């Protein structure tokens, strides 16, 4: 049987391992009783472990962190930037007043009094109409610029038939259909 020269994981002493590959010297070989203190506190732990569970969890959290590339704030190891700098990098920088941001798709969102974010163009249209929009209604930007939320640039569309039609066009279409099918209803 071959014997290897090894260094104990716990105490660091050199020993001859039999069987080969055993990571502990004889005093630190596995048994069922805690027999040595944790590296970070006086709690006794089993032979195969170096730290007690609370100290192990604390060490894992400490090792599982890194620092933001921009501000040096402590963050998760899987991230490169803190939330603030990540959002800035993605084009979602908050306005100076807070509660307002432009998403990467170009739409502007505003934070309401209760903390929820709503699309600004829908909010502008609701205030102009004096009522809440229903799910079948959409707000269209006439010039195609998604952050131009002036009421002159917005128009209300509805989706019943055909999909994506202006409300004024829908009224005109329904009026024409009524004249064709039941003119007595318009009289």
**pLDDT tens digits, 93-142:** 555 456 788 888 889 988 887 778 889 999 999 999 898 988 878 899 98
Closest residue by Cα to residue 119 from 130, 127, 129, 110: 110
Is the pLDDT at 3 greater than 70? The verdict is: no
Q: Is the pTM of this model over 0.85?
A: no
- Which domains are present in the chain? 4-55 (no CATH), 99-185 (3.90.75)
What does the pLDDT read at residue 23? Answer: 72
Q: How far is CA 181 from the centre of its chain?
A: 53
Task: Tell me the average pLDDT of the chain.
Answer: 77
Q: How far apart are CA 160 and CA 178, in angstroms?
A: 16
**pLDDT tens digits, 132-141:** 988 878 899 9
Q: What percent of the chain has pLDDT over 90?
A: 11
What does the pLDDT read at residue 96? Answer: 45
């Amino acid at each position: 049987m071959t014997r290897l020269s090894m260094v104990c994981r716990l105490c660091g002493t050199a020993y001859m391992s039999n069987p080969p590959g055993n990571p502990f010297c004889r005093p630190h070989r596995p048994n069922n009783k805690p027999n040595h203190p944790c590296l970070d506190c006086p709690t006794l732990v089993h032979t195969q472990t170096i730290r007690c569970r609370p100290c192990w969890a604390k060490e894992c959290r400490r090792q599982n962190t890194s620092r933001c590339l921009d501000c040096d704030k402590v963050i998760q190891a899987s991230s490169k930037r803190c939330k603030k700098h990540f959002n800035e990098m993605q084009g979602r920088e908050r306005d100076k007043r807070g509660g307002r941001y432009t998403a990467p798709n170009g739409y502007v969102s505003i934070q309401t009094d209760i903390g929820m974010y709503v699309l600004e163009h829908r909010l502008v249209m609701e205030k102009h109409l004096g009522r809440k929009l229903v799910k079948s209604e959409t707000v269209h930007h006439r010039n195609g610029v998604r952050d131009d939320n002036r009421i002159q640039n917005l128009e209300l569309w509805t989706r019943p038939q055909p999909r994506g039609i202006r409300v004024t066009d829908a009224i005109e279409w329904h009026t024409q259909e009524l004249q064709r099918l039941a003119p007595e209803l318009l009289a």
